[in-house]
Amino acid sequence: MAEERRQKQCSVTLPTESMKAIAESIGVGQLQEESCTALSEEVSYRIKEIAQDALKFMHHGKRRKLTTSDIDNALKLKNVEPLYGFQSQEFIPFRFASGGGRELHFYEEKEVDLSDIINTPLPRVPLDVSLKAHWLSIDGTQPSIPENPPPVPKEQQKVESTEPLKVVKPGQEEDGSIQAKGKDKGLIRLKPRSTHELSVEQQLYYKEITEACVGSCEAKRAEALQSIATDPGLYQMLPRFSTFISEGVRVNVVQNNLALLIYLMRMVKALMDNPTLYLEKYLHELIPAVVTCIVSKQLCLRPDVDNHWALRDFAARLMAQSCKTFSTTTNNIQSRITKTFTKSWLDDKTQWTTRYGCIAGLAELGPDVIKTLILPRLTVEGARIKAVMEGPVISNIDKIGADHVQSLLLKHCASVIAKLRPQPDVVDQYRTDYGYLGPMLCSHVMKARTQAALQAQQVNRTTLTITQPRPTLTVSQSGLSGSTGPRTPSIIKVPSSLALMSQRPGTPSQPSPPATKYIVMATSSGAASTQQVITLSSSQSASPVTTSVHSATSALQPLVKLDSGGSTGLTASRPLQKYIVVSLPPSASSSLEPKSTVIPTPIPSASLDGGLKLERSDSPGVRTQSPH
């Protein structure tokens, strides 16, 4: 099979029609059939020859993609003038067209209005090349830092959670997680390695992160959340986080501590945003917590003043997001959730707060759910709202609740109705169809329609985008001293996390774009009397300084270097980056062996802890972690 396909690929020649078409395009009218055949064979051969040469340039350019410049170089090799004008784009989209029995692939060249080009603001100047160092391996183990790929790929987490007792063959795990010390190779592990012991660093990190997440300093919290959302090495700590959240919600709902509930929900959000985590195993703890925050009767001490509605909205969005990502035919999350919401909504005795939560939860699940479950209930709900709004004033709280439910319904239903109903929006018809809410719906629908029309117009307008070399997923580094250029080159962020960030539902309180932080950790290397420590100090740009440290003197290396002050004038929009270099005392290193099965006593960490605490005021959420 494959053999055949290869043969086919080899002996393909250009169709003679192409020759004709090309001849016509340069003004040669009647080309004989034989000439076409001869030409097509010759041209095919030459093209293949050039492609082969171009491949050489690709290999020497250390790339996997053939680029137009490779072809140019190959042409130059043959003493042919290269094609001009095909540089920039990485990918040339060919379009396919057929008709009249002819099939055609072509490259679409749009006409460009010069004034558009002139009027568009200049694209950003591409960043300059820069050099950055990180540890790929420390004494044979790979530290889990953002610069390295996640230690346990998501697929493997999934495999482990779905087939926990699967026999792991030696060699199967080879990629990614070689702990190889030679001797434990070839062993067949009957169970996947037990996952719930945390190293001292991980415990420290966990403590710092959770404290920062529920603490009072917003900047710290932002950093901690960012760390949760991007860090590739959290897999081990996931069960703890999950328990932390579910317990936290349980306690704080009783105490009506709205702020803490919001913080915990933001943690859930961050966990879900982390592309390297496989959350399925912990949904049984997370979902009840989230649902509680949606439908609980009371979430705050003063229901009439506090904005617990925002929390319900946020949690509802989280719920919808997890339904989207995790719902399968086996766990049926979405239908179970829908049932729960509907049931309590239908109950007459349900309070307005819970009612609001149910509707929000349902509405976030998408237009289909709104259409089938919410729209039919509009009349009933309208009557209930009317009773509260226009009836005798029973309690202020009910009134506020009814008011919120009303605006919630209007907000979600309007757009759906706008799509469902035919154009003329007659107030009376709305009234008959939807009762009390009808007139208000009508005006909302009309508003939605005009908005949609506006948007459509904008889309239709041809826009010219000048291609930038690459969507720059870069965060400029603040602490570079001695840089002469206007912008200093910098670090590249994980693209996927950025993409996620753009889709994230807004957090209830002001989410300032969190600062990125990179922590590089060095343990003492080797048992020899000397250590090699590369210190990554931001003031030296990203050049690691190889220093030798005599273990005798290095009881506690100094070690926490924060970014060199450049961040002072930064607003929240300018992300900043920190390097923290932690070097562990060699005495501790023995107990920090990745393979140690006992939970290390906190004693060796005590001194470290102190050192870190000192820094805490500057660097919230200092994270240390063993390279494991």
Partner 1 sequence: MAAVQGGLVDAVEEKTIKSEPVADATANNSANDARAPSSSPGSGVSPGVNKPAAGAAEDQQTLLAVLQFLRKNNLSESVEILRREAGLPEDSLDQKGGDSTGTGLGGPEADGRTDAGSLLSRVTVSSSAPSKAVAEDQPDVNVVLSAYSQQGDPALYEVYYSGLKKFIETVLDCHRAELSQVFYPLFVHMYLELVYNNHENKAKAFFEKFSGDQECYYQDDLRVLCSLTKKEHMRGNETLLDFRTSKFVLRISRDSYQLLKRHLQERQNNQIWNIIQEHLYIDIFDGMPRSKGQIDAMSGSLAGEAKREANKAKVYYGLLKEPEIELPLDDEDEEAENEEGKPKKKKPKKDNMGSKSKKQDPNAPSQTRIPLPELKDSDKLDKIMNMKEATKRIRLGPDNLPSICFYSFLNAYQGLTAVDLTDDSSLIAGGFADSTVRVWSVTPKKLRKVKSAADLNMIDKESDDVLERIMDEKTASESKILYGHSGPVYGISFSPDRNYLLSSSEDGTIRLWSLQTFTCLVGYKGHNYPVWDTQFSPHGYYFVSGGHDRVARLWATDHYQPLRMFSGHLADITCTRFHPNSNYVVTGSSDRTIRLWDVLNGNCVRIFTGHKGPIHALAFSPNGKFLASGATDGRVLLWDIGHGLMVGELKGHTDTIYSLRFSRDSEILASGSMDNTVRLWDATKAFDLETDDFTAATGHIHLQDNSQELLLGSYMTKSTPVIHLHFTRRNLLLAAGGYNP
Query: In angstroms, what is the minimal distance from the CB of 66 to partner 1?
Result: 11
> Which pair of structure tokens corresponds to residue 459?
């889309």
Query: In angstroms, what is the minimal distance from the CB of 401 to partner 1?
Result: 49
Q: Does 64 bind partner 1 (CB under 8 A)?
A: yes
Q: Does 350 bind partner 1 (CB under 8 A)?
A: no
What distances in angstroms separate CA 531 from CA 19, 42, 139, 522, 548, one per listed residue?
A: 69, 64, 11, 10, 6
Q: Does 469 bind partner 1 (CB under 8 A)?
A: yes
Q: Does 24 bind partner 1 (CB under 8 A)?
A: no
Nearer to partner 1, 27 or 171 (CB): 171
- How many whole angstroms separate alpha carbon 619 and alpha carbon 581? 12
Query: In angstroms, what is the minimal distance from the CB of 410 to partner 1?
Result: 43
Decide if 582 contacts 519 (C-beta within 8 A). Answer: yes
Decide if 143 contacts 627 (C-beta within 8 A). Answer: yes
DSSP 95: E
Q: Does 132 bind partner 1 (CB under 8 A)?
A: yes
Contacting range for partner 1; rule: CB under 8 A; set: 108-116, 323-331, 418-426, 541-549: 541-549
Q: Does 124 bind partner 1 (CB under 8 A)?
A: no
Nearer to partner 1, 7 or 451 (CB): 7
Q: Which of residues 506-525 bind partner 1 (CB under 8 A)?
A: 525
> Which pair of structure tokens corresponds to residue 499?
């993409």
**CB < 8 Å & 24+ apart, contacts of 591-594:** 591/200, 592/199, 592/200, 592/201, 592/523, 592/626, 594/141, 594/179, 594/199, 594/626, 594/627, 594/628
DSSP 127: P
| Residue 32 CB burial class (10 angstroms; 0-12, 13-18, ≥19) | exposed
Q: Which of residues 298-317 bind partner 1 (CB under 8 A)?
A: none
Query: In angstroms, what is the minimal distance from the CB of 174 to partner 1?
Result: 7
Decide if 54 contacts 74 (C-beta within 8 A). Answer: yes
Query: In angstroms, what is the minimal distance from the CB of 170 to partner 1?
Result: 9
What three-state secondary structure class fits 429?
A: helix
Handedness of CA 293, 294, 298, 299 (dihedral sign): positive
Nearer to partner 1, 116 or 174 (CB): 174
- H helices of 149-307, in order, are 154-162, 200-214, 218-230, 238-254, 258-273, 283-295
Q: Are strands 539-542 and 530-536 parallel, antiparallel or unpaired?
A: unpaired
Query: In angstroms, what is the minimal distance from the CB of 10 to partner 1?
Result: 4
Q: How many residues bind partner 1 (CB under 8 A)?
A: 79
Contacting range for partner 1; rule: CB under 8 A; set: 25-33, 65-73, 359-367, 374-382: 65-73
- How many whole angstroms separate alpha carbon 215 and alpha carbon 425? 51
- How many whole angstroms separate alpha carbon 613 and alpha carbon 623? 11
- How many whole angstroms separate alpha carbon 141 and alpha carbon 148? 12
> Which pair of structure tokens corresponds to residue 112?
């460009």
Query: In angstroms, what is the minimal distance from the CB of 518 to partner 1?
Result: 12
* x/- letters, 476..505, toward partner 1 (CB under 8 A): ------x-x----xxxx--x----------
Q: Does 63 bind partner 1 (CB under 8 A)?
A: yes
* x/- letters, 597..626, toward partner 1 (CB under 8 A): ------------------------------
Query: In angstroms, what is the minimal distance from the CB of 143 to partner 1?
Result: 10
Backbone angles phi, psi at 582, to 5 degrees: -115, 125
Nearer to partner 1, 340 or 472 (CB): 472
Nearer to partner 1, 315 or 533 (CB): 533
- How many whole angstroms separate alpha carbon 214 and alpha carbon 218? 9
Q: Does 52 bind partner 1 (CB under 8 A)?
A: yes
Q: Which of residues 548-577 bind partner 1 (CB under 8 A)?
A: 548
Query: In angstroms, what is the minimal distance from the CB of 280 to partner 1?
Result: 24
Select from 15, 24, 56, 117 the one that contacts partner 1 (CB under 8 A): 56
Q: Does 5 bind partner 1 (CB under 8 A)?
A: no
Q: Which of residues 72-91 bind partner 1 (CB under 8 A)?
A: 73, 76-77
* x/- letters, 170..189, toward partner 1 (CB under 8 A): -x--xxx-x-xxxx-x----
Contacting range for partner 1; rule: CB under 8 A; set: 96-104, 425-433, 465-473, 614-622: 465-473
Contacting range for partner 1; rule: CB under 8 A; set: 108-116, 122-130, 331-339, 404-412: 122-130
